[in-house]
Structures are given as structure tokens and as C-alpha cells.
Homo-oligomer: A and B are copies of this chain.
Amino acid sequence: MTRLREARFGGRRKARLDAALKAAATAVEAELAALIPNHDAPHARLLRAMRYAALGGGKRLRPFLVLECAKLFDADPAGSLRAACAVEMVHCYSLVHDDLPAMDDDEMRRGRPTTHVEFDEATAILAGDALLTLAFETLAAPETHADAAVRAELVLVLARAAGMNGMVGGQMIDLEAEGTALDLAQITTLQAMKTGALITAACEAGAILGRADATARRALVAFARDLGLAFQIADDLLDVEGEAARVGKGVGKDAAAGKATFVSALGIDQARARALSLAEAAACRLAGFGERAETLRSAARFVVERQH
């Protein structure tokens, strides 16, 4: 293939990926708005804070992964969308709690005041709690899948990824590590728990929704692990290199907080090389799915090239 044809091919792929990401984000936004009521109630403030935290922004990468993985097996789109929203609720709750003054103390997120700044700390804590709870309520409801075994397994996989041995455990390690020099193995463990577990659960949820066989499910989990690591390295690079305006949150905060990242452990050039090779490895994990997985393969490349 000539360089020109390659560039054209890459451009088409990128356009297709962008369209798929946009379509997923639009569908997820609408479904989240339907799942989080906006009515006049004694606890209306809580509902407003939940909507503030969950609506109107974000790349929606995790629900996109749920939807794309479920599509590989022709899973029911309506149920997949609900599961995708459940995973996104867990992501949004984690951002709300991580931003709290007692945690990372961030005042801006996605170019807007964080939830505890827009409302108050108590409301932000409760909105996070309620989003986490609603995620499991959504998965367990019969509308998500006709087979209760699928629903129970979705709950189990998401809870394991989000809980003490996954995301929350990772955040604990991250908080304790501030100001200490973690080695590469420790940073990798931290990342696998704090951000990797939920990304893996997103892909695994797609496999569960589609009743994938063990081989297909393992392939998607392996894809997700490589992708998640590539994603985190890219995030660390953005923190060092990004412009505050483009990223929409404070930049250089990791270094200021004395946080060990892949960039601090590997240096910028090695970190970038590592992210690129992980993205390629992720894409290769999906060889067995053929052309159907092209959007997911493009997504793996996208996460390391993104500007925000």
C-alpha cells in the first residue's frame, strides 16, 4: 500500500470511529437522562446533582466499549445501552468522589465546576453514592436482559471491577502513594485497579450481554487490558503535555501533587512508545473477530492519539 492510500485508509477509519463514538455518546446521553429522573421531589437536589455529574460531557469511552463489544455478538441494543449506562454511572460516581476536597481536591472537570463546587460536598457525596447504586439497579432490572443469569453476572463483574480489589482499591493506593516514588510494577498495579478494571469490565459486559463463548470473552478481556494500560499512559502524557484549555481540567496536577505516573517512571519518549505498542497489541487481540471489530481496533489507536 502506498503512503497516500494508507493515509486515505486511515482517514476513513478515523471518520468511521468518530461517527461511532459520537453515535454512542448521543445514545448514552439520552438513556442516562431517562434513567436519572428530573422531577419535582423532596430530594430533587440529589437528582439534579446526579444529572449534573452524569450528563453533558465526557468521551463516553466505557459505554462505547460496552456497546461495540455487545454488537460483535448481535446482543439486543436496548439492553446493551442500559448496561453501557450502568458502567458510565460507575465512572461518573468515581469522578465525583475523586474530585472531593478530601481526595484529589479538583475544582474543574470537563471545563465545568466539579459537582461539590457546583452543589456542596454533602450533595456530591450523596450523588456519587446514588449513581453507584443506580448502576446496579439498572443492571439487575429485567429490561436489561431477559435472562436473569446474564443480569446477575453483569452485576458481579461490574461490582468486582468497581470495588475494593478494583477501582476503589486503586484510588486508595493512589492517595497513599502521593509523594512516594512508585516503581513501574507498582504503577502498573495501581493503574490496573484504578482505571483498568472498569475498562475491562466494560468489554466483558459486552461479552456477557452477547453470551460470548469463553474464547471470545478472553480475547475481549485481553484487548481491554492492553487498551486500558495504553489509555492510562496516554492520560499521563496529556497531563504533562496538554494545554489546560484543551483538556478542560488542571494540567500538570500529577507532578504538582507528587504523583508517580508512567511518565515519571519511563520518561516521555518511552512512555509514548509503550502506549503505541500497547495499542497495537490490543488491536491484534481482536484478530479473531475479523472486519466486525474494526471500530474497536481503531478505538485502541485513538486512545493514544487523542488530544483530550
Interface residues of A (CB under 8 A from B): 36-37, 41-43, 45-47, 50, 93, 97, 100, 102-103, 120-123, 125-126, 128-130, 132-134, 136-137, 139-141, 147-149, 151-153, 155-156, 159-160, 162-165, 168-173, 175-176, 186, 189-190, 193
Enumerate 24 A-B pairs (CB-CB under 8 Å) in ascending A order. A37-B164, A41-B169, A43-B165, A97-B125, A100-B122, A102-B120, A103-B125, A123-B175, A126-B172, A129-B129, A130-B163, A130-B164, A130-B169, A133-B159, A133-B162, A133-B164, A134-B159, A134-B164, A137-B155, A137-B163, A140-B152, A140-B156, A147-B148, A148-B149
Please tell me which one of the listed residues B121, B137, B153 contacts residue A102 in the complex, with CB atoms under 8 A apart.
Answer: B121
Contact status A125-B139, CB under 8 Å = no
Contact status A50-B164, CB under 8 Å = yes
Contact status A123-B43, CB under 8 Å = no
Q: Which 5 residue pairs of A and B lie closest in terms of their CB atoms, listed nearest first?
A: A137-B159, A102-B121, A133-B163, A43-B169, A148-B149
User: Which residues of B lie under 8 Å from residue A172 when comparing CB positions?
Assistant: 43, 45-46, 123, 126
Smallest CB gap from A175: residue in B: B122
User: Which residues of B lie under 8 Å from residue A169 when comparing CB positions?
Assistant: 41-43, 46, 130
Contact status A42-B126, CB under 8 Å = no
User: Which residues of B lie under 8 Å from residue A97 when comparing CB positions?
Assistant: 125-126, 129
Contact status A139-B155, CB under 8 Å = yes
Contact status A168-B123, CB under 8 Å = no
User: Which residues of B lie under 8 Å from residue A139 when comparing CB positions?
Assistant: 155
User: Which residues of B lie under 8 Å from residue A121 when comparing CB positions?
Assistant: 102
Q: Which of A120, A168, A193 counts the most B-chain CB atoms under 10 A from its CB?
A: A168
A-B contacts besides A43-B173, A133-B163, A140-B153, 5 pairs, CB < 8 Å = A43-B164, A43-B172, A122-B175, A148-B153, A152-B155
Contact status B129-A103, CB under 8 Å = no
Smallest CB gap from A105: residue in B: B122
Contact status B140-A148, CB under 8 Å = no
Q: How far is the CA of A156 from the CA of B145 in the complex (A)?
A: 13
* With A42-B189, A148-B149: A168-B102 Cβ-Cβ less than 8 Å: no
Please tell me which one of the listed residues B45, B100, B153, B155 contacts residue A176 in the complex, with CB atoms under 8 A apart.
Answer: B45
